[in-house]
Structure 1
Amino acid sequence: MSDENKAEQPLEKMPLPQVTFSTFVMSLASSALVHLGEVPEPETGQMMPSLPVAKHTIDILAMLQEKTGNCLDPDETQLLEGLLYDLRMKYVVKNK
């Protein structure tokens, strides 16, 4: 299927990525970005900022970091640390 045809498909018809810890964390981070007002909501294309929901999602990522401790491989650890840093900095800027 060409990229052009994929773009025309509704989101619910598009194939989903394999579920891994990294894709799960990226999904949460994407949600946080939507609620920070950094990117539009995928289904509507509208900006949907909500700082309390963004903070809640960031807190979920922080809890995952704490609970997974030494169980992650180095790439997963780096991904989670980097996402948390970036999201926290964006939250601080938005919350001023």
Structure 2
Amino acid sequence: MNNEEKGYTIKDKRFSAISEEEKRQDSDTKNYKKEDDSSSKNKDIPLPEINFATFILSLTSSAMLHFGDIADPVSGKKERNLTIAKQTIDMIDMLREKTKGNLTKDEEALVENTLYELKIRYVKESSKGM
């Protein structure tokens, strides 16, 4: 007697789970391609060289964003968050400590000047809130 004669229906759940997973992956891939297409508009803009100086400048830009100087790229709003600005300053300070003796004179000067400016700015901004 085969399965049809007994009235049993065999359903392989593994197959449907795999196909659901494949569907999710396909939709993720499509979403990624859409994002990739939108970024192709920016292909004409040359990216800066990646080095220690650009990394420090990137962290500085992040601090400026949290001081409220720069609009958030996602929301378009200027929002002030001194806690995150301080955390960014602390990260740069940690990098200064961890890279001591391994930086060029220019890199050392960049880190020192950046930290000085950001710390002074933080003190001014935090005193405004009082």
Q: TM-score range by the shorter chain?
A: 0.7 to 0.9
CA RMSD of aligned residues (A): 1.9
**Percent of residue pairs identical:** 41
Structure 2: distance between partners of 1:42 and 1:87:
21
Question: What's the CA shift for 1:48?
Answer: 1.9
* 5+ long unaligned stretches in structure 2: 1-37
Q: Choose from 21, 27, 30 the match for 2:58.
A: 27
Kindly provide the CA deviation profile for residues 1-36 of structure 1, in whole angstroms up to 9, marking residues without a partner as x: xxxxxxxx96x8233211100000000000001101
Question: What's the CA shift for 1:81?
Answer: 0.5
Correspondences of 1:1-96 after superposition (within 5 Å): 13=42, 14-96=45-127
Under a length normalisation based on structure 2, what TM-score does the superposition of the two structures give? 0.61
Query: Greater relative contact order: 1 or 2 (C-alpha under 8 angstroms, separation 6 or more)?
Result: 1
Kindly provide the CA deviation profile for residues 10-65 of structure 1, in whole angstroms up to 9, marking residues without a partner as x: 6x823321110000000000000110112323454421211110000000000000
* 5+ long unaligned stretches in structure 1: 1-8
Under a length normalisation based on structure 1, what TM-score does the superposition of the two structures give? 0.81
Q: How many residues align?
A: 87
SS in 2 for 1:39: coil
